[in-house]
Amino acid sequence: MKEKLYVAIDLGGTKIYTVLGNGEGSILAEEIFATKAHDGPQAVLEQLVLSVSALLAKTSYGLNDLQAAGICAAGFFDWQKRLLVHSPNLSGWNNVPLELELTARLGLPVLAENDANAAALGEARLGAGAGSGDLIFVTVSTGIGAGLILGGHIYRGTAGFAGEFGHMVVKSDGYLCGCGRRGCLETVASGTAIARAASTAMQMGRETLLTQLAEENEGKLGAPQVFAAAELGDVLAGEILADASYYLGLGLVNLVNLLNPEIIVVGGGVANAGDKFLQPLREAIADKAIPPAAASCTLRAAKLGMAAGVIGMLCRLAEQN
Ligand SMILES: [Zn+2]
């Protein structure tokens, strides 16, 4: 029997990652475009089509050889109305019928998902949580997101907006969040929050290695510099990371108590800091979650990196077709 082939696209605010893959979730070819995020939906939809053509041109396959296409995107995807309601990193994307628009352009059935949901499925099927039916994927980078796999399937909630872990309120009088509310986890524990805390402390005149590390990085200060300074024993950087880790740990404890997951997979740029970042989170779960739920939960680093979303979409397509 002929192998079933799919294209899967991860549409992000900075890049469009497009792959050709099979029903086992193996990637056979890939293509990366820089997203024209400020040019509006029509320009980006054209880019998506071009990325598929450029990808197929690298192979001996054409659109006729494909069973279907899958796309995952950052943002709120309304699972009932099939609309990308809003995407914070893509200008002008409001209520875009992403599946319909792509089907019309590619002539293929198209399935869309929120990117964290797709990444969660990828990690649950073929990544750090392979074989688990009760897994939470948490991504910590400029923002904080999550995808829930419950009973073997993506849990979307009633309309598709479940898993917004970054907007769990942990400090009701805290900073204003990108979502318009105050005190979300994302405002205290994301890469952006870590960088802001460092800048604020430096402006207050705290003695720190961060001053030098920022100078070496063209004056820019981000989470990577804070991790580097903490590694060198910098007290301020250590305090900032401990604070972020405290709130992230609280959020995870609440998830463990609510959902009793078997595995929590932590990915995203900030999680690249490795075990130094993950171990305090494991300790928070062990100390603060209800003991039987804590004992049955393992926290691991993500395994699939930037391919998690597209691999999740390949699995999703294969399970549907
Ligand atoms: Zn928020």
pLDDT per residue over 131-190, tens digit each? Answer: 999 999 999 998 999 999 999 999 999 999 999 999 999 998 999 998 899 999 999 999
- Distance of CA 147 from the midpoint of ligand 1 (Å): 16
Report the pLDDT value the prediction gives residue 321, as an integer from 0 to 100.
67
CA 205 and chain centroid, separation: 34
- Distance of CA 44 from the midpoint of ligand 1 (Å): 26
pLDDT classification of 209: cutoffs 50, 70, 90 = very high
pLDDT tens by residue, 31-52: 999 999 999 999 999 999 999 9
- Distance of CA 277 from the midpoint of ligand 1 (Å): 22
Residues 172 and 96: their CA atoms lie apart, in Å, by 32
- Distance of CA 259 from the midpoint of ligand 1 (Å): 21
Phi, psi values for residue 231, rounded to 5°: -60, -35
CATH fold group of domain 130-302: Nucleotidyltransferase; domain 5 (3.30.420)
- Distance of CA 177 from the midpoint of ligand 1 (Å): 5
Terminal-to-terminal C-alpha distance of the chain: 15
- Distance of CA 182 from the midpoint of ligand 1 (Å): 7
- Distance of CA 10 from the midpoint of ligand 1 (Å): 23
- Distance of CA 113 from the midpoint of ligand 1 (Å): 20
- Distance of CA 88 from the midpoint of ligand 1 (Å): 11
Whole-number mean pLDDT of the chain?
Answer: 95
Q: CATH number of the domain at 5-121+306-320, out of 3.90.1150.170, 2.40.30.10, 3.30.465.10, 3.30.420.40?
A: 3.30.420.40
- Distance of CA 196 from the midpoint of ligand 1 (Å): 16
Report the pLDDT value the prediction gives residue 1, as an integer from 0 to 100.
64
Considering only residues 206 and 125, tell me which one the structure prediction assigns the higher pLDDT.
125
- Distance of CA 178 from the midpoint of ligand 1 (Å): 6
Report the pLDDT value the prediction gives residue 89, as an integer from 0 to 100.
84
Kindly list the domain boundaries of the chain, sorted by start residue.
5-121+306-320, 130-302
Q: Is residue 114 within 8 Å of residue 73, measured between CB atoms?
A: yes
**C-alpha dihedral sign at 224, 265, 51, 62:** positive
User: Around Cβ 130, how many Cβ atoms within 10 Å?
Assistant: 13
- Distance of CA 30 from the midpoint of ligand 1 (Å): 33
Report the pLDDT value the prediction gives residue 260, as an integer from 0 to 100.
98
- Distance of CA 183 from the midpoint of ligand 1 (Å): 7
- Distance of CA 184 from the midpoint of ligand 1 (Å): 5
Residues 152 and 162: their CA atoms lie apart, in Å, by 16
- Distance of CA 50 from the midpoint of ligand 1 (Å): 34
- Distance of CA 174 from the midpoint of ligand 1 (Å): 11
Phi, psi values for residue 198, rounded to 5°: -65, -45
- Distance of CA 242 from the midpoint of ligand 1 (Å): 21
Q: Given a cut of 70, is residue 119 above it in pLDDT?
A: yes
pLDDT tens by residue, 290-314: 999 999 999 999 999 999 999 999 9
pLDDT classification of 274: cutoffs 50, 70, 90 = confident
pLDDT classification of 94: cutoffs 50, 70, 90 = very high
Considering only residues 32 and 205, tell me which one the structure prediction assigns the higher pLDDT.
32
Same fold, 5-121+306-320 and 130-302: yes
- Distance of CA 166 from the midpoint of ligand 1 (Å): 6
Task: Supply the pTM of this predicted model.
Answer: 0.94
Work out the percent of the chain whose per-residue pLDDT is above 90: 90
